[in-house]
A and B are shown apart, each in its own frame.
Chain A
Amino acid sequence: MKQHLHDLLRARAGGDALAWLEKALAATTPPVHHNTLLGYYSGASRRMGKRALNLSQQEQARGETLDAELALSHWGADEAARALLLLTLAEQLPPEEFAELARRCYELGDSREQESWLRGLGPLPDCARFLASAVDACRTNIIPVFEAIACENPYPLRVFPEANFNQLILKSLFNGIALERIVGLEARLNASLSRMSDDYVSEREAAGRTVPTDIWLVLAPHIAGEGLVRVHRYLSHEDPAHRYWAALGLGHHANGESREALRARAALEREPRVKAALDGALARMG
C-alpha cells in the first residue's frame, strides 16, 4: 500500500510538491524530531493540495488487490501523503513511539488532518491499537470528521466492537447519512441494532417526526412482534423509498415470517425499483 500511494502521488504532483514530499519522508529516519514530523503532517494540505486522486482503471485494479474496500479514489492528495507519511514512519520507529506520534497527529489535527488520519487508519500495521481514537472520533459534532470514520471506510467493519458499531449506525441515522455509505453493513447486522433502531422509530413517531427511509435496512433483520408489524406497514408506505428499504431489510430477516407480506406487496407494487427489491428479498428467502 505504501508503494501504491507513493506511485499515485508521483503520477499527480508537481515538482515542488514532490520535493516537499521527499523531504517529509526523509524526516521519518530516526531519531525523529516529533514536532518536525507533526509540522509535515499538517503541511500536506498546503503542499500537496486537496484534489481527489480519481484513480485510473489500472490504478484502481492495483489498489483492489491491496485492499478492495479502501476508497482511495475519493482521497485527496494531501490525505494520501499523510497516510504515506504514517506508513513510512511505522516502518522506521519502534511500535510504541510510532503509536504515540500517530496519536498526536490525530489529537493536534484540524478537521482535515483528522479526516485524513481516520481514512488512513485501515492500512496501518496493527491498526486495532487506534480503536480508542477512532471511537472518540465518532463522538464529534463535526460531520465531515464523523463521515471520515463512518463512511467509505472499512475500519469500523473490521475493528469496532458491536456496541460502538451500533452507535455509529445510530449517529449516521441521526445525521441523515445514507447507510449505503457504511462499508460492510450487512456483515455487522445484529439484534441489538434492530432493537435500538426500533426504539428510534417509536421515538420519532411519538414526536410526530419523519423516520429515515433506510432505517429498515438495520431494523428489519432481527425484529419480531410489534416491530415486525410496523415494518410490514411501511412496506405499503406512500413514499417508495420506505417501501424499497423495508423490502431490502426484510430480505435479511432472520426467519421467513415476512414471506407472505412481501408476496402480497409484490403483487401490488408498480415502482420498478421497489418491485426488484421485493423480488430480491423473496429470492433470498428461497
Chain B
Amino acid sequence: MKMFDPHIHMTSRTTDDYAAMAEAGIAAIVEPAFWLGQPRTHAGSFEDYFNGLLGWERFRASQFGIRHFCTIALNPKEANDPRLSEEVIDMMPRYLQKEGVVAVGEIGYDDQTDSEEKLFERQMAMAMEYGLPVLIHTPHRDKKQGTVRSIDLVKSMGFPEERALIDHNTEETLPLVLDTGCWAGHSIYPNTKMDEERMARLVKQYGSERIIINSAADWGISDPLKVPKTVDKMREMGIPEVDIETIVWSNPATFFAQSGNLNLEDIETRPNINQTELFDGNSVLRGQTPIVES
C-alpha cells in the first residue's frame, strides 16, 4: 500500500530511515518547519533552515524515491522570542510563494502565551493571503484548552475550516475537531501522544473522514515507520482496506493538494531514483554503487 507521512522532521533522520520508509511503502512526506530542540538565537538561522527544507532535504528524499513537501512557519515555541519573530515573519512571504510549500505550519500554541497567539493569528492571515492551508500544532501541556482556543481562532478569523489541519489529537480532542470542518491529525509516538492500538480504536469509533495519521518523527525518541505500523494494527483490528487507504493516502494528499503545490496525479507514480545526481556538488552516496532507475 502506498502511504503518505504528512508530518515528519527528516532533517533529524538518517538515510537508513529514508531507505526503510521507502521499503515500507511511504511514497510522499510533508516536513513541517519546527524548532530544532534548542532555541535559535538569530533570525538568519531560520533562513538557512528554510532553505535546507526546500533544497537539500527535498533532494535527499528524492534519492530514495520519496516525494518531499514542506510547510513554512515560525513555530509556537520560538514565537516567544521577540528578537526573532519580526524578522522571521518578514522573510516568510518569500518562502510561502515557493514550489513545494504546501501549508503554513507548524503554527499554534505551546505555552499559550499572548505572543504565541499574536503570531498564530498573523500567520493564519498570511495563509489566507497566499492561498495556503495551515498545519496547527496543539500543545502537550493543557492540550484540551489549547485545542479549543485553536478552533476558536480558526472560527473567529473566518479561516476556511476545510483548509485547517489540527494536529496531535487525543481521545479527548478528536471529537472537538471533528465537530468543525477541520481535519484531525494524530502523531503516533513510542511513548507519548498516541499509539497504534489507541489510534485503531479511534478509527473504529469515528471512521476515516478527515482523519490523518503521522509519525512526527524528529530528533527525539520517535519512529519514522509509525504510519506503516499503524496500518498493520488497523488491519489486524479489522478496519476495511478502503478506510485505511483513505487515512494514509487520500486524506493527506487531498488536504495538502489544496495548496496548489501538490498535484494529485503526479504523486500517484513514484519518481525514478537517480543516485548519480548531485545537489550543489553533494551526493548522498559514500562510495556505494548508485541506483539508477529508468
List residues of chain A with CB under 8 Å of any chain B CB.
107, 135-136, 138-142, 163-164, 167, 170-171, 174, 196, 199-200, 202-203, 206-208
Contacts and interface: CB of A to CB of B under 8 A. Distances in A.
> By DSSP majority rule, is chain B's interface helix, strand, loop, or mixed?
loop
Contacts of A139: 39, 77, 80, 110-111
A167 B116 CA distance: 14
A174 B41 CA distance: 26
Given A136-B39, A140-B38, A203 B80 contact: no
A174 B140 contact: yes
Nearest to A195: B145
B80 A174 contact: no
A219 B198 CA distance: 26
B6 to A, nearest CB: 22
5 contacts: A135-B80, A136-B81, A170-B141, A199-B145, A203-B143
Nearest to A111: B38
A192 to B, nearest CB: 9
Contacts of B172: 202-203, 206
A220 to B, nearest CB: 18
Interface residues on B, range: 20 to 34
Contacts of B77: 139
4 closest cross-chain pairs (CB), A and B:
A206-B171, A170-B141, A196-B142, A167-B111
A202 to B, nearest CB: 6
Contacts of B110: 139
Given A135-B80, A206-B172, 4 more contacts: A163-B112, A199-B144, A200-B141, A203-B172
Nearest to B143: A203
B281 interface: no
Contacts of A208: 198
B158 interface: no
Nearest to B111: A167
A138 B141 CA distance: 12
Contact of A141 (B112, B198, B220): B220
B96 to A, nearest CB: 26
B113 A207 contact: no
B275 to A, nearest CB: 34
Nearest to A141: B37
A175 to B, nearest CB: 11
B63 interface: no
Interface in B172-231: 172, 194, 198, 220
Nearest to A208: B198
B144 A203 contact: yes
Contacts of A170: 141-142
A163 B112 CA distance: 9
